[in-house]
Structure 1
Amino acid sequence: MPVSIIFERSWRTGEVPEDWRKANVTLVFKKGKKEDPGNYRPVSFTSIPGKVIILYIISKHVVEKKVVRSGQHEFTMDNPKH
Structure 2
Amino acid sequence: MMEQLILGIISKHMEEKKAIRSSQRGFTKRKSCLTNLIAFYDGMTGWIDEERVVDVVYLDFREAFDTVSHSVLIGKLRKCGLDE
| Fold-level similarity (TM above 0.5) | no
Q: TM-score, normalised by structure 1?
A: 0.34
TM-score, normalising length: structure 2 = 0.33
Larger fraction in strand: 1
The structure, 1 or 2, with the larger RCO (C-alpha pairs under 8 Å, 6+ apart) is: 1
